[in-house]
Amino acid sequence: MTIRAGIVGATGAVGQRLVQLLAPHPEFEIAAVTASEDSAGTPYRKAAKWRIDAPIPTDVGEMTVRETSPDAVPDDVAIVFSSLPSAVGERVEPQFCEAGYIVSSNSSNARRDPDVPLTVPEVNADHLGLLEVQRDERGWDGGLVKNPNCSTITFVPPLAALDDEFGLERVTVATLQAVSGAGYSGVTSMEILDNAIPHIGGEERKMETESRKLLGEFDGAEVHWHDAQVEASCNRIPTLDGHLENVWADTDEAVSIDGAATAMGEYPAVDLHSSPDQLIHVFEEPDRPQPRLDRTRENGMAITAGGPRETDTGLQFNCLAHNTLRGAAGASVLNGELLLERGYL
Amino acid sequence: MTIRAGIVGATGAVGQRLVQLLAPHPEFEIAAVTASEDSAGTPYRKAAKWRIDAPIPTDVGEMTVRETSPDAVPDDVAIVFSSLPSAVGERVEPQFCEAGYIVSSNSSNARRDPDVPLTVPEVNADHLGLLEVQRDERGWDGGLVKNPNCSTITFVPPLAALDDEFGLERVTVATLQAVSGAGYSGVTSMEILDNAIPHIGGEERKMETESRKLLGEFDGAEVHWHDAQVEASCNRIPTLDGHLENVWADTDEAVSIDGAATAMGEYPAVDLHSSPDQLIHVFEEPDRPQPRLDRTRENGMAITAGGPRETDTGLQFNCLAHNTLRGAAGASVLNGELLLERGYL
Amino acid sequence: MTIRAGIVGATGAVGQRLVQLLAPHPEFEIAAVTASEDSAGTPYRKAAKWRIDAPIPTDVGEMTVRETSPDAVPDDVAIVFSSLPSAVGERVEPQFCEAGYIVSSNSSNARRDPDVPLTVPEVNADHLGLLEVQRDERGWDGGLVKNPNCSTITFVPPLAALDDEFGLERVTVATLQAVSGAGYSGVTSMEILDNAIPHIGGEERKMETESRKLLGEFDGAEVHWHDAQVEASCNRIPTLDGHLENVWADTDEAVSIDGAATAMGEYPAVDLHSSPDQLIHVFEEPDRPQPRLDRTRENGMAITAGGPRETDTGLQFNCLAHNTLRGAAGASVLNGELLLERGYL
Amino acid sequence: MTIRAGIVGATGAVGQRLVQLLAPHPEFEIAAVTASEDSAGTPYRKAAKWRIDAPIPTDVGEMTVRETSPDAVPDDVAIVFSSLPSAVGERVEPQFCEAGYIVSSNSSNARRDPDVPLTVPEVNADHLGLLEVQRDERGWDGGLVKNPNCSTITFVPPLAALDDEFGLERVTVATLQAVSGAGYSGVTSMEILDNAIPHIGGEERKMETESRKLLGEFDGAEVHWHDAQVEASCNRIPTLDGHLENVWADTDEAVSIDGAATAMGEYPAVDLHSSPDQLIHVFEEPDRPQPRLDRTRENGMAITAGGPRETDTGLQFNCLAHNTLRGAAGASVLNGELLLERGYL
């Protein structure tokens, strides 16, 4: 028995990845795909300008795209995976929750709301408990669960590993982000060929806040954000997939390179269908991870880390994740699997 | 009357830029070009695989390449511009100094030697006084002057501006460096297309040490390095020219965005032939500077900066310089002009 | 005395190049810039997302953008340079002509109209005589002159040189075109990074027809198109500027490599402000021309050619031109200069 | 029972692909890896600078690299896969053949030798019969089989399909080739970023001759080359993998678009482990195939084609293949499988 699932915002760059991941998924079955009004009524094959280097799953290609509205989605759908522009998500996601659907969302709206769980299953699965608070407060039958921004997912697991062992005080991070993170038309070729862009609107703030919520403590009623000082600088570079990040972590206790590698490499994995066998792969080579070589580790769901150096105040290191798999579509699917395991579906 | 100049290591990526800058220079005249033994005896046009998007200066193209040795260079040459691999520079540059030549060098050897001036004319021209110490200690008639690494030149002028006004305590920097910084064959296309490399061997250490020497105080006998904690993470990205850097500066006194912009924008220029009218151009747009758009400001000799944000402990900003012009060949030429102005030629 | 000029469609990729070329032009003076309704009323600096690696000319930056309509342009403007989307050009350009303006247009509409001169000054300046026919037929006080498509301009001058000496029978051409040819937002980064696109809608047909009109004979009343068979295949590749083309020319008479090089290298230049000293630069090196190295020859107005090989039926060679300078904005400006020289302004 | 296989030249770009393909192969077992003298004696993991975006197969990573000599390879090895620089292949491959090994080689030496089979299993498997001629003439116990150049493999299958149905008279081809075709260090980043190179030394000639041998007839004693006139122009562009080609085929009989699509799409496949289910995938979309999207079809072993247009004299179309899989390592492995099926192993 598989759970019937909808994908809203299915034609975008992340939506296509959701299709790619869910089509062969053993636990979920794609029952509906939605997009903007213009595309509604046309076959998915026509509506999506497919950019993935593997053919469109045949069944989904023939599905008729629906409008993005609870009325347009069959009642037997239990979970909706959402990857909508945030302004649309803000309007539409609550409608789905009210109509009784569980929404696992990659959209950036509502991530910092106190009663919305923002989860990475390996890091803070317990925050899912916020769903009860949410249902109480909002009177929903369904519920809204968020995964963080792609650049945030990349550095939070290594930071969680360090925080557990050494205690985080301050985090400084510079990112080198791939163009797919901006969506299909987000970055023009004239903007990025032979170039880099040292600012991504809103991204710095997302990393600085979402990381503190993810690393925070849930006491059964609310999440107490981590009080580390986090400062991010986000850059777009001419890579297709894979966000690379340079991180400086100032810690309460001194960190050795070996201690850091052990903490990261042994950080616990979880037993969900899409989760990697080992969450963080630690390289010995100083010039790894690299986007093109390492982004597809464990089907693009592993975090890779390397280049550790001790500093006067803690540790400097690099980390990488596939931004549209581990950092977006895969993150939403993983949250869906967690919701299923925990009995919410 | 122009000063007769030699270029040693004239066929490499920086050597070609030296040719490009010195051929039309009003104060210097290219009297000799040297390269490795293989190329000696052939016309420069054949020896150099010319990669600059402007034709080879005709006269230089026809010059016969000489061996890299003082004996091979005419006696009436007064200054030698050097851009040699550091192992070669370490061996050969002292021979030229001993033979009475003034050497303005971009090679990375000897930069941290206590009696070798490491100068950026706008920042620490007074360090040139070390030449007297050097001549005393080494018994040379000539003398050796260095410019710093390309990634170091990029962030030191903005830091100097901040240090003067607010006092530097700690500097964290992540770089996005162009491939030309590694020389003509330094980075293969398979390494860098759709990729980034989060480590450049030796580069982090150069930034961390050379910056402190440049920002140090010369008391007439020695340079006292600045005691700020500097931590660098160096990345190679698929850009041709222009190093972009994300900097966090923790300061003694609080920095406002306006205060920082003023300090940088009004940092004094110098009156040398190749120096820009304004050393640091400060952008208001948050997504600037960008390598492709901004690297050629003032003939590639200006530093550009932007994206300032106040942090709890100081200022975060971005800066950029053309790595083979302001960061290498142009830096050596500028030091040559300073040596001329100060009467060393 | 300078001629007052308007630029319609001034904010696009080619429009920005027109601004760059006309701002310092000794014969023209920018009197008005227009764009779409959204931008009208705002300073050009704000309306144009400036992508050229040199600052916006200050005066133009401060100009208020006008609507694209003859009523919005001052009466003392004598010539209008147009770089509009073809659908807009088709509607608006006749309005300007009717209102008495001479229009030098880069837009693709009307290029094949029998009474519209399609000119490259060095190749077929005499076709300008069609203006009399046009005025007779359309009753215009002004007049419409077109330059060809960027990919067409690249290969027509070398073909004209060969046609004069050896007679053309058949031409086969494959292009490697830069992204700027599609305008600022024409090609997304996800489409082109690590990729090539083997078709550019409409471009093949433009090359196949415009080339035959350009190489045709004007008998005082009409242009008789050249009867060569022309077949084009157009590819987009990840370069910023510069269209490179592989050409096979089957000729009436046998062509030697030397004969071809002489015919191209000695093809007559013209004496206009923006025209190059030598129209076609012929390389001896078999791997030239290359976009990055050769596109800016003679301020981006020269054609470069190389790699000639004799075939059983003629000659194979490569050629290159800067697509937004020689191939678009520079082509329109050059036609403007020709119009001035011939007394139309 | 698997066949024990050696890989000579195992550390290069194609050698790494051979390791990737043969490590999990059900018919072959990697028994030895060789490289240049410098690497002999070190573990493969250290000797190879692994550039593939999947981890090194563990067993092979631990193997000790041997010298490239028959003496260094175990006697029970039956087949040697070779991807050596041609100068090395020319010297070493005959030594292996003389020592009794069957050599399936991707190296460019000896491809045009009259007694050396140059085969693509789907196109001309019968040419393998040349092995008998070869053994007679050279007195070898082993034997040498070649696959063609990567750019040749790409366009020969579609041409074979057209030749069978319509008869080929003349072929004109322009290529857009990926950097991996030149090997790991073959193209520097400074050469190719924002650039294209319109000549690849020797490549044009390979395409022009190898294609005619492949399409030729084997009469039991020798191969009569096809007499079509073939003219190639080869370009390097900034893509990592996948050669895209624009082809014009002049044919004896008129070709319709549908007829061409049918001839290509129904061109017979073969039943070997690595061969694709369908040899040529024909796209309806005019802008396909594209390197990034289509190079990995059927594990990188399918040819893709599209963009057909009728011309006055035949057909114009585009085709694509993964140059290091279908075009090199996969081609050698496929020839190995053919040799096994035909009883040579």
What are the pLDDT digits (tens) for D130-146? 999 999 999 999 999 99
Q: For chain B, what percent of residues have pLDDT higher than 70?
A: 100
Using alpha carbons only, give the angle D255, D260, D266 rounded to the nearest 5 degrees.
145
Stretch C252-269: mean pLDDT, rounded?
97
Whether residue A194 and residue B292 make contact (CB cut-off 8 A), yes or no, is yes
pLDDT at B155: 98
CATH code that applies to domain D150-322: 3.30.360.10
D-chain CB neighbours of C284 within 8 Å are: none
> Alpha-carbon distance A328 to A81, whole Å?
11
pLDDT at D155: 98
User: Is residue D165 within 8 Å of residue D263, measured between CB atoms?
Assistant: yes
> Alpha-carbon distance C62 to C30, whole Å?
12
Cβ partners under 8 Å of residue B312, min gap 6: A229
> Alpha-carbon distance B231 to A317, whole Å?
11
Among D184, D238, D239, select the one facing B188 at the smallest CB separation.
D184
Whether residue D293 and residue A194 make contact (CB cut-off 8 A), yes or no, is no
Residue C132 has pLDDT above 90, yes or no: yes
pLDDT at C1: 81
Stretch B281-310: mean pLDDT, rounded?
97
Stretch D177-185: mean pLDDT, rounded?
95
Among A186, A189, A240, select the one facing C179 at the smallest CB separation.
A189
10 Å CB burial of residue B130 (0-12, 13-18, 19+) is buried
Whether residue A193 and residue C240 make contact (CB cut-off 8 A), yes or no, is yes
Substitution target from B51, B53, B282 for chain C, most C beta carbons within 10 A:
B53
pLDDT at B51: 87
Q: For chain A, what percent of residues have pLDDT higher than 70?
A: 100
Q: Could you read off the pLDDT of B68-105 as tens digits, one per residue? A: 999 999 999 999 999 999 999 999 999 999 999 999 99
Among C240, C244, C306, select the one facing D194 at the smallest CB separation.
C240
Closest of B152, B308, B132 to residue B218, by C-alpha? B132
Taking all residues of chain B, what is their mean pLDDT, rounded to a whole number? 97
D-chain CB neighbours of B194 within 8 Å are: 240
Touching subunits for chain C (3+ Cβ pairs under 8 A):
A, B, D
pLDDT band at B23 (very low <50, low <70, confident <90, very high): very high
Whether residue C296 and residue B53 make contact (CB cut-off 8 A), yes or no, is yes
10 Å CB burial of residue A47 (0-12, 13-18, 19+) is buried
Among B194, B240, B292, select the one facing C193 at the smallest CB separation.
B194
Q: In Å, how far is A247's CA from the nearest CA of chain B?
A: 9
pLDDT at A252: 98
Residue C130 has pLDDT above 90, yes or no: yes
Q: Which residues of B touch chain C, with CB atoms under 8 Å apart? A: 51-55, 193-194, 240, 292-297
pLDDT band at A212 (very low <50, low <70, confident <90, very high): very high
> Alpha-carbon distance D121 to D102, whole Å?
17
Closest of A9, A139, A27, A29 to residue A74, by C-alpha? A29
Q: In Å, how far is D233's CA from the nearest CA of chain C?
A: 7
Same fold, B3-149+328-341 and B150-322: no
Q: In Å, how far is B314's CA from the nearest CA of chain A?
A: 11
> Alpha-carbon distance C345 to C338, whole Å?
10
Substitution target from B173, B194, B255 for chain A, most A beta carbons within 10 A:
B194
D-chain CB neighbours of B239 within 8 Å are: 193
Q: Could you read off the pLDDT of C168-207 as tens digits, one per residue? A: 999 999 999 999 999 999 999 999 999 999 999 999 999 9
Whether residue A51 and residue D194 make contact (CB cut-off 8 A), yes or no, is no
Q: In Å, how far is C295's CA from the nearest CA of chain B?
A: 8
Taking the domains of chain A in order of start, what are their residue ranges?
3-149+328-341, 150-322
pLDDT at B278: 98
User: Is residue D254 within 8 Å of residue D313, measured between CB atoms?
Assistant: no
Stretch B121-142: mean pLDDT, rounded?
97
Stretch C306-313: mean pLDDT, rounded?
96
A-chain CB neighbours of B176 within 8 Å are: 176, 196, 198, 235, 237
pLDDT at B123: 98
User: Is residue C164 within 8 Å of residue C194, measured between CB atoms?
Assistant: no
pLDDT at B31: 98
Stretch D214-220: mean pLDDT, rounded?
98
10 Å CB burial of residue B54 (0-12, 13-18, 19+) is exposed
Q: Could you read off the pLDDT of C15-59 as tens digits, one per residue? A: 999 999 999 999 999 999 999 999 999 999 999 989 899 899 999
Q: Could you read off the pLDDT of A140-168 as tens digits, one per residue? A: 999 999 999 999 999 999 999 999 999 99
Stretch A123-133: mean pLDDT, rounded?
98
> Alpha-carbon distance A85 to A67, whole Å?
15
Lowest mean pLDDT among A116-120, A152-156, B35-39, C113-117: B35-39
Could you tell me how many residues make up chain A? 345
pLDDT band at A90 (very low <50, low <70, confident <90, very high): very high
Q: Could you read off the pLDDT of B103-117 as tens digits, one per residue? A: 999 999 999 999 999
Touching subunits for chain A (3+ Cβ pairs under 8 A):
B, C, D
Substitution target from A52, A177, A189, A239 for chain C, most C beta carbons within 10 A:
A189
Query: Is ipTM over 0.85?
Result: yes
Q: How many other CB atoms sit within 10 Å of the CB of residue D229? A: 15
pLDDT at A12: 93
pLDDT at B114: 98
User: Is residue A344 within 8 Å of residue A143, measured between CB atoms?
Assistant: yes
Among B52, B54, B296, select the one facing C53 at the smallest CB separation.
B296
> Alpha-carbon distance B260 to B283, whole Å?
12
Whether residue D311 and residue C231 make contact (CB cut-off 8 A), yes or no, is yes
CATH code that applies to domain D3-149+328-341: 3.40.50.720
pLDDT band at D40 (very low <50, low <70, confident <90, very high): very high
pLDDT at A51: 87
Give the containing element (helix H, strand E) for D121.
helix D121-124
D-chain CB neighbours of A194 within 8 Å are: 193-194
Stretch B1-12: mean pLDDT, rounded?
95
Among A199, A239, A287, select the one facing B307 at the smallest CB separation.
A199
Strand order in the sheet with A314-321: A229-236, A168-177, A243-251, A314-321, A303-311, A280-282
* Residues of B catalogued as catalytic: 150, 243
Whether residue D53 and residue A194 make contact (CB cut-off 8 A), yes or no, is no
User: Is residue D22 within 8 Å of residue D83, measured between CB atoms?
Assistant: no
10 Å CB burial of residue A139 (0-12, 13-18, 19+) is exposed
Whether residue A239 and residue B238 make contact (CB cut-off 8 A), yes or no, is yes
* Contacts across the C-D interface (CB distance below 8 Å): 115
pLDDT at A117: 98
B-chain CB neighbours of A239 within 8 Å are: 194-196, 238
CA-nearest residue of chain C to B298?
A: C54
> Alpha-carbon distance D103 to D105, whole Å?
6
pLDDT band at C75 (very low <50, low <70, confident <90, very high): very high
Cβ partners under 8 Å of residue B25, min gap 6: B2, B273, B333
Whole-model pTM: value is 0.97
Among A231, A288, A293, select the one facing B311 at the smallest CB separation.
A231
Q: Could you read off the pLDDT of D258-305 as tens digits, one per residue? A: 999 999 999 999 999 999 999 999 999 999 999 999 999 999 999 999
Closest of B88, B37, B29 to residue B66, by C-alpha? B37
Stretch A309-325: mean pLDDT, rounded?
97
Q: In Å, how far is D292's CA from the nearest CA of chain C?
A: 5
Residue A1 has pLDDT above 90, yes or no: no
Using alpha carbons only, give the angle D161, D163, D169 rounded to the nearest 5 degrees.
145
Whether residue A233 and residue B318 make contact (CB cut-off 8 A), yes or no, is yes
A-chain CB neighbours of D296 within 8 Å are: 53-54
> Alpha-carbon distance C13 to C29, whole Å?
20
Q: In Å, how far is A290's CA from the nearest CA of chain D?
A: 10
Tally of helices (H runs) and strands (E runs) in chain B: 13, 14
CA-nearest residue of chain C to B193?
A: C194
Pick the catalytic residue from D97, D127, D150, D319.
D150
Q: In Å, how far is A323's CA from the nearest CA of chain C?
A: 14
Cβ partners under 8 Å of residue C143, min gap 6: C97, C102, C103, C131, C134, C135, C344
pLDDT at D1: 81
Q: Could you read off the pLDDT of A292-305 as tens digits, one per residue? A: 999 999 999 999 99
pLDDT at C23: 97
